[in-house]
Amino acid sequence: MSEMSMEQLNFRRSILGEIIRQAKADNDPRIDEPKRQLRIIVSEINKRLGLPEPKDTAVGLDSIDIVSRFNQ
């Protein structure tokens, strides 16, 4: 990816964005691969711009607040 220009990366990002929008509209089950490719491209663009990488968010059972109400 390092040999691609920013213009090429932005073009691919826009194409993948359109593919993803269309796949969502059509309920296409093959949407995972374009999403994976888009994440890679966005990561490369952010790296070149000096932006920090987004951190993965982990949610555990002890961090979820569940409230339930039953008719008594």
pLDDT at 53: 73
Residue 41: which domain range? Answer: 6-63
The CA distance from 49 to 43, in Å, is: 10
pLDDT at 35 over 90: yes
Q: How far apart are CA 48 and CA 52, in angstroms?
A: 10
How far is residue 3's CA from residue 56's CA, in Å, rounded to a whole number?
Answer: 27
**Mean pLDDT along residues 15-29:** 93
Residue 45 domain-assigned (yes or no): yes
Burial level of 24, CB count in 10 A (0-12/13-18/19+)?
exposed
| Inside any domain, residue 72 | no
Decide if 68 is inside a domain: no
Q: Is the pLDDT of residue 57 over 70?
A: no
pTM of the model: 0.67
Tell me the percentage of the chain whose pLDDT exceeds 90.
Answer: 60
**Domain membership flag for residue 1:** no
Q: Is 18 among the domain residues? A: yes
Q: Is 11 a member of any domain?
A: yes
Count structural domains, the chain: 1
Q: Output the average pLDDT for the chain.
A: 83
CA 16/CA 20 separation, integer angstroms: 6
